[in-house]
Amino acid sequence: MGLPKDVVTVKNRLPHDCSDYRCEVASKLIVDSPELLAMWRSLERRDIGGDELWVWIFLGTAARASNLPPFHYKPAKKRRKLSNRITTLANELANELKQNELDGQLFYSDSINYHGFFIYDDFEEFMQIEIDDAQTQKVKMSLLIQKFAERATNAIDTEPIPGKAGANARAIHFVRIVADRNERKYGEPLNAVTATAANAIFGTSYQESDIVNLLNR
């Protein structure tokens, strides 16, 4: 018995130039090996959608979990340092812009001649009047910088998975994310599925018992 037909369908639909972000993990997971066949069959038994969407979703989760932003892998102390530095730099830049009257106002236009984001202060006065008459919303660049900094520091403070990662940090983060996804979707972490996927992507040799230990760290 080969790969489930939905898995084969997805494999055939992935672009040959690997422009899809799921291509790399797909090349490692959609393989006709005993372990991966068992993994896909296990997921297929739990599929209730009746189409190949479950394959796309699993590949998407695996792709994102295997390539997290770098800050996810930093120790807590370095994450705090990064968060503080971003806040400090953003505040310094925003203050310099305001104090030296270099701040600008960003707005969005969907008109025929102007489509996209523009800086209000760069337009001639007659255009600014038209923009104002249209009651176009504008936001100060200094405020935008600080908002982006807040967004970044919030991600740094809340996104990384709790617990020590230790060696194989990327594989361990992957395991925790995929197991959590399985728990929420299927009501169980599917330790065998999680182990098989991690082994195929990272070259690890996890067993089901290893997944249990990693999740309990």
Range of the domain at 13: 5-70+163-215
Tokens of 59: 């590949």
pLDDT number for residue 207: 95
pLDDT number for residue 172: 92
Residues 81 and 129 grouped into a single domain:
yes
Q: Which of 112, 132, 158 is the last residue of a domain?
A: 158
Residues 64 and 167 grouped into a single domain:
yes
pLDDT number for residue 80: 95
CB neighbour class for 7 (10 Å; exposed up to 12, middle 13-18, buried from 19):
buried
Q: Which of 158, 187, 205 is the last residue of a domain?
A: 158
pLDDT number for residue 16: 82
Task: Specify whether the backbone of 116 is left (phi greater than 0), alpha (psi in -120 to 50) or beta.
Answer: left
Residues of the chain with pLDDT under 50: none
pLDDT number for residue 90: 98
pLDDT number for residue 169: 86
The three-point CA angle 156-145-106 to 5° equals 140
Residues 144 and 175 grouped into a single domain:
no
Q: How many domains does the chain have?
A: 2
Of 20, 8, 30, 28, the closest CA to residue 60 belongs to 20
Residues 143 and 83 grouped into a single domain:
yes
Residues 168 and 130 grouped into a single domain:
no
67-122 tens-digit pLDDT: 999 999 888 899 999 999 999 999 999 999 999 999 999 999 988 888 899 999 99
pLDDT number for residue 164: 62
Phi, psi of 138 (to 5 degrees): -130, 155
pLDDT number for residue 163: 62
pLDDT number for residue 165: 57
Diameter of the chain measured on Cα atoms: 72
Residues 97 and 132 grouped into a single domain:
yes
pLDDT number for residue 166: 64
Residues 168 and 209 grouped into a single domain:
yes
Residues 46 and 91 grouped into a single domain:
no
Residues 64 and 99 grouped into a single domain:
no
Residues 144 and 181 grouped into a single domain:
no
Distance CA 69, CA 153 (A): 13
